[in-house]
Every structure is written in C-alpha cells, then in structure tokens.
Amino acid sequence: MKRHWLIPTGVVIAILIFGVIGILIPAGMFKNIVPHYSGSITEVDLPLAGPEDLTLDRDAGLAFISADDRRSNLRGDPVPGAILLIDLNQPGAIRNITPPLPDFHPHGISLWRAASGDLFLFAVNHQKQYSHHTVEKFVWRNDSLIHLESFLDPDLMTSPNDVVAVGERSFYVTNDHGYGEKGLARTLEEYLQRSISYVNYFDGQAFRKVASGIAYANGINVSNDQQKIYVAATTGRNVLIYQRLTTGDLVLEKDIPTQTGVDNIEVDEHGVLWIGCHPQLLKFAAHAADSTKISPSQVIKINNGADDSYQVTEVFLIDGSGYSGSSVAVPYQNRLMIGSVFEKSILIGTN
C-alpha cells in the first residue's frame, strides 16, 4: 500500500520545489552581483533618513528629495518626514523646505511647471502610521514651498506609492498593492508576484482606476511629450508603457522586461528612463526588516531606439555593503544622483 503514495508524494514535492524556485528566481536570489560604475562615487549625508524619491527642476538646477524615516514610523516612534532641497549650483547646501504640515510622511514626488511659470510639487503622503493616504500639492514660490491642498480617495488610494503630475490639478498615482491592509493576503500578493495592483488617475475632480493587472505598481512617470506613461512593476520585473488618451485613460502599448525589481522612474531631457532598482528582492525585504542586513543597489537606464525598440543597460551595481536599497536615480549634467529607501544619505556619481 505504501507504494501507492510514492507517486502522489513525489508530485507534491515537485510542485513545492517548482513553487519555491518560481519565487526565488524572479526575486533575483541567483543573480551574480559584480559591482561596477564607470565614474567615481561620493556619499552626501542628509539630515533625515530615507531619501526614497528625488526629482529635478533642470532649468533651475534644483533637486527636490522626498525623505522619510520609515523604520522609526513602523516601530511606532515616528520622525517627521521632509522635502529636502539641494541647489546643484551650490551642491554643499542642503535645506529642509517642508512647510508646517502635521503628520507628513512623503513617498513618491513629482514636479509640474505650469504655463504661468509656477512650479508645483505633488507628494504621496502616508499618515496615521500608513493607514491614511493623501496626495499633497505644494507650490514653489519665492524660494519657499507652500502647501495648497490635499487629495484623497479611501476606496481607490489604499496603498499609494508614486505620483506623476500631468497638469496643475491632475495626476496619476500608483497603488502598489491590491490588498490595502497588511496581513497574509498582502504578503502572498508580494511573494507570489500577483498582478493585482493598479494605477489611478485624478482628473481634477475625482479619482478613477485607469490601469490594472500590475505586479506591484511602483514608480511612475510621463514622457517629455506627455503622450506616454511609464509604470515600474517591481515584482513583475518589468516596465509598462501606456499610451495616454485625451480622456486620461491609459492603453497598454509595450511591456519591457528588466530582470530586476524596478522602483522609481526618472526621465531625462533626452527621454531616457533612469530607474533605481532592487536586483535581489528577498534581500531587500530582509534589509527593510533589519538594518544590519544589506541589499544590493542598482541603476538601469532604458533607451528608446529609432525602430521603437527599447534597450536596457545596467549603469551601476554594488552589493549593498556600502549603500543598500537604491530606489531612484537622476542624471544631471555629468552627475548621477542615487537615493535609497532607508539610508541617511544619497550617492552622487561623477564621470
């Protein structure tokens, strides 16, 4: 009788092994980390940990940084988050430009230059220990950041991550989980790489879902001609390119495999996508839970060829022993600025 159990037992074991491998390979556990960068790297200390996102006003040479000490927040000892400013014309000067705003914990940020010349900053904000979420709108005026209004939708915006402005009062925002509440379902969504997260659009009046079926919708940005939206799918390890319709709705146009855990997306003046990445997602998860565990840092760029093909190039890679959890990369002139989810500094590479 025991022999009758051999085949079904073997099948169960094979399924389990297949399932584990199906998690480990996409999570990058077998990726060979060979550190490289063509230039030199300088580490610049910040007054606050967690420079998860940063973006540029290229005309003025100003870098806006979203910083939040996530570990302190999650252990119940919150430290106020901030928008920091680096004047790249005077790179030694770092200022906290956050206006008075209670319970401010920024995540993704985006700039929008209006026809009037006014510069607006939009920021995803997590309040009440990540249980209440908004998008905050500011204006940069007279060398100061002024808060204007807050946007929220408790039904659709349950786990917002990044935002990209497409107007003075319109934007797209990623919702990185299908399950808004922490728990087993959300954990399984991450580890099984379920494609159930989505993108919301705020048209100036209301939120609506405009793209779905995404495996951890993370960074988001818009092409320089405003015709395409780029979305980073972290556990899907790809970048999705959508065509923007005049209604604001999105139509999937292309899926670019990246073989890494893509995070925030920045678009340079030539239309090249620069992305901070987590090449070994399980190591990043361990690093998020324990600061003594390291997670590799990686930067890739994606070029659009003349035949509408896309080329993915790895620009920067380290094993995480010096800088862990890279989440954003922004080029400016001969410099490359790299931010992280948890570090208390940014890296600046020069060529």
Q: Which residues are catalytic?
A: 107
Give the list of residues 6+ apart from residue 208 with CB closer than 8 angstroms, or none.
Answer: 156, 200, 201
Measured between its terminal Cα atoms, the distance across the chain in Å is 70
Q: Determine the Cα–Cα distance for residues 91 and 230; give it in Å rounded to an integer.
A: 30
State the pairing for strand pair 197-202/170-175: antiparallel
Instruction: Give the number of other Cβ atoms within 10 Å of residue 32's Cβ.
Output: 5
Residue among 48, 63, 25 at smallest CA distance from 105:
48
Residue among 144, 23, 6 at smallest CA distance from 83:
144
Partners of 123 in the β-ladder:
109, 136
The 3-state DSSP composition of the chain as helix, strand, coil percent (nearest 5) reads 15, 50, 40
Q: What is the dihedral of CA 127, 94, 44, 110, to 10 degrees?
A: 50
Q: Are 342 and 288 in contact (CB under 8 A)?
A: yes
Give the list of residues 6+ apart from residue 156 with CB closer than 8 angstroms, or none.
Answer: 175, 200, 207, 208, 209
Strand order in the sheet with 94-96: 51-57, 62-67, 82-87, 94-96
Q: Are 229 and 242 in contact (CB under 8 A)?
A: yes
Buried b (16+ CB within 10 A) or exposed e, 266-292: bbeeeeebbbbbbbbbbbbbebbeeee
State the pairing for strand pair 261-267/250-257: unpaired
